[in-house]
């Protein structure tokens, strides 16, 4: 069992818990705990004049904190890895955390750093957005020409799954301005049935970590819809070994060792299909972009992509389409579900051959609109699909109601297949499923 160094200083640990309870986000909570543990390691360091037995008023006083700050800046307090200096941004966060602990303990406040000393981040020039989109289209063409978007063509080889994921991530960011943490919270439910819109859950700075995030709906460009379809295809194929949840939109594309370490068996193995965490998303994006920038250098229509997602995000200012209600309106939900069922019943009674006729077009448009409005209100995909099934619309005919085929396949794996069934699915069955 891993030992927490904060246990050596119970009073500090209690102050950390109190500060975390008031933290505006989970990220801030992690920062508080990390720097508090770093402070304990400083008290254990031979160059620090105090020890873990010292009074907290002395530990959090100016002289003690300046010694701690110097040791931390020199990289002498790292929990693992070689010594190396820390960034100025990290020093600012360290100062903010110490101030929070001082205030919790009602001690004199000592600021080791002030925000004004930090250089401002330079966003991507807005005039480059069109070139960025052109580069992403060049990347999509590059992958398609070499793989034909099929397993037989090598879609799951040579790092292409990571490129497809990066392509979809980048385009979603350009359409929505989503942050890394907001991308990680996205689930299949946040994609509209037609893949024309996406829901982003925001938690504005200054709000409590446990407060309800605000939902925003954005229209997706045609290029983003195509990229998401390709990503859902790759996602489905790599989910064969998935052992965790199948609801997250952004998942790992290969197995890795990490997480809890067992003394006898070593690090825990995580199969492909595991939900990505914020750090994993950032690293995956940066690694894929670094490789793509080298491999596609010199191609017509290619401009290097920024290697940090934050740079990409700060270069866009998308228009919010809708602020969905925090909780669905029950009466409106019933009306929309009835509209979905009615549209499904009309489509079920209509021969497929009549889809191009006026009556067929009207029925398909009505089904598409009903499904979109129901999704915007927050009615889950499976509830809508159940209504269409009740209306008599066969599962294979659901795309006639405007539903994207790849999204339907992803939802099918997320809900209907058990882990044992996924494991038993053969390569031949996957190929048949891809072309159905």
Confidence band, pLDDT 50/70/90 cuts, at residue 129: confident
| Structure token digits, residue 369 | 């609109």
Give the range among 77-86, 274-283, 352-361 with minimum mean pLDDT.
Answer: 352-361
pLDDT digits (tens, 9 = 90+) for 3-20: 788 888 889 999 999 988
Q: Which residue has the higher pLDDT, 266 or 34?
A: 34
pLDDT of residue 78: 82
| Structure token digits, residue 386 | 């159940």
Mean pLDDT, range 195-224, rounded to an integer:
80
pLDDT exceeds 90 at position 77: no
pLDDT of residue 372: 92
Give the range among 83-92, 364-373, 381-390 with minimum mean pLDDT.
Answer: 83-92
Mean pLDDT, range 221-225, rounded to an integer:
94
Q: Which residue has the higher pLDDT, 257 or 276?
A: 276
How many Cα atoms sit within 13 Å of 49 on the Cβ side? 12
Confidence band, pLDDT 50/70/90 cuts, at residue 212: low
**Centroid of chain to Cα 189:** 13
Confidence band, pLDDT 50/70/90 cuts, at residue 205: low
pLDDT of residue 338: 92
Mean pLDDT, range 47-58, rounded to an integer:
90
How many Cα atoms sit within 13 Å of 176 on the Cβ side? 31
**Centroid of chain to Cα 393:** 33
pLDDT exceeds 60 at position 268: no
Tokens 């933290």 correspond to what residue?
23
pLDDT of residue 202: 84
Check if the beta carbon of residue 38 is closer than 8 Å to that of residue 30: no
| Structure token digits, residue 203 | 């938690």
Average pLDDT, the chain: 81
Show Cβ contacts of residue 276 under 8 Å, excluding neighbours closer than 6 positions.
Answer: 184, 248, 250, 251, 252, 284
| Structure token digits, residue 345 | 């019943």
Strands 197-202 and 266-270 turn out to be unpaired
| Angle 306-309-310 from CA coordinates, rounded to 5° | 105
Residue 105 backbone phi and psi in degrees, to 5: -90, 0
pLDDT of residue 427: 37
Check if the beta carbon of residue 85 is closer than 8 Å to that of residue 74: yes
Rounded Cα–Cα distance for residues 160 and 143 (Å): 7
Mean pLDDT, range 306-312, rounded to an integer:
85
Element (H or E) spanning 50, and its range?
Answer: none
Rounded Cα–Cα distance for residues 27 and 102 (Å): 20
Within 129-221, residue ranges assigned H as helices are 129-147, 160-176, 180-184
pLDDT of residue 436: 30
| Structure token digits, residue 221 | 């460009």
pLDDT of residue 127: 63
pLDDT digits (tens, 9 = 90+) for 143-185: 999 999 999 999 888 889 999 999 999 999 999 999 998 999 9
Residue 23 backbone phi and psi in degrees, to 5: -65, 140
Mean pLDDT, range 312-327, rounded to an integer:
76
pLDDT exceeds 80 at position 339: yes
Entry pTM: 0.68
State whether the Cα torsion 323-328-330-332 is positive or negative.
positive
Residue 135 backbone phi and psi in degrees, to 5: -65, -40
Give the range among 79-88, 104-113, 408-417 with minimum mean pLDDT.
Answer: 408-417
pLDDT of residue 191: 96
pLDDT exceeds 80 at position 1: no
Question: How many Cβ atoms sit within 10 Å of the Cβ of residue 207?
Answer: 14
pLDDT of residue 383: 92
Mean pLDDT, range 91-119, rounded to an integer:
79
Confidence band, pLDDT 50/70/90 cuts, at residue 259: very low
Check if the beta carbon of residue 165 is closer than 8 Å to that of residue 288: yes
Residue 299's nearest CA partner among 163, 129, 136, 149 is 136
pLDDT exceeds 60 at position 358: yes
């Amino acid at each position: 069992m891993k030992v927490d160094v904060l246990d050596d200083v119970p009073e500090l640990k209690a102050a950390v818990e109190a500060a975390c309870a008031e933290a505006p986000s989970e990220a801030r909570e992690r920062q508080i705990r990390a720097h508090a543990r770093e402070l304990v390691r400083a008290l254990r360091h031979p160059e620090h004049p105090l020890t873990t037995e010292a009074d907290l008023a002395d530990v959090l006083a100016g002289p003690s904190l300046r010694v701690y700050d110097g040791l931390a800046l020199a990289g002498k307090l790292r929990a693992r890895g070689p010594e190396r200096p820390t960034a100025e941004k990290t020093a600012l966060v360290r100062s903010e955390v110490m101030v929070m602990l001082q205030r919790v303990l009602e001690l004199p406040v000592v600021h080791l750093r002030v925000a004004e000393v930090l250089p401002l981040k330079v966003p991507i020039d807005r005039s480059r957005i069109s070139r960025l989109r052109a580069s992403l289209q060049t990347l999509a063409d590059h992958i398609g020409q070499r793989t034909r978007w099929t397993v037989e063509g090598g879609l799951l080889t040579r790092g292409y799954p990571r490129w497809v994921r990066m392509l979809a991530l980048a385009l979603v960011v350009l359409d929505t301005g989503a942050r890394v943490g907001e991308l990680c919270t996205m689930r299949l439910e946040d994609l509209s049935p037609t893949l024309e819109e996406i829901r982003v859950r925001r938690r504005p700075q200054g709000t409590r970590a446990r407060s309800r995030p605000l939902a925003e709906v954005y229209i997706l460009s045609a290029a983003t819809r195509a990229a998401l379809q390709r990503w859902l295809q790759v996602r489905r194929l790599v989910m064969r070994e998935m052992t965790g949840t199948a609801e997250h939109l952004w998942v790992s594309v290969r197995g890795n060792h990490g997480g809890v370490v067992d003394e006898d068996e070593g690090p825990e193995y995580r199969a492909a299909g595991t939900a990505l965490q914020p750090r994993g998303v950032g690293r995956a994006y940066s690694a894929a972009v670094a490789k793509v920038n080298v491999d596609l250098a010199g191609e017509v229509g290619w401009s290097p992509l920024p290697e940090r997602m934050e740079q990409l995000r700060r270069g866009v200012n998308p228009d919010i389409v809708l602020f969905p209600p925090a909780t669905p309106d029950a009466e409106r939900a019933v009306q929309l579900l009835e509209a979905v069922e009615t549209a499904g019943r009309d489509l079920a009674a209509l021969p497929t051959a009549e889809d191009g006729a006026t009556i067929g077009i009207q029925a398909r448009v009505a089904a598409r609109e009903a499904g979109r409005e129901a999704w915007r209100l927050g009615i889950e995909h499976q509830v809508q699909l159940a209504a269409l099934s009740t209306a008599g619309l066969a599962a294979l005919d659901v795309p006639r109601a405007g539903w994207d085929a790849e999204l339907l396949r992803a939802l099918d794996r997320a809900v209907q297949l058990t882990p044992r069934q996924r494991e038993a699915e053969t390569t031949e069955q996957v190929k048949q499923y891809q072309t159905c």
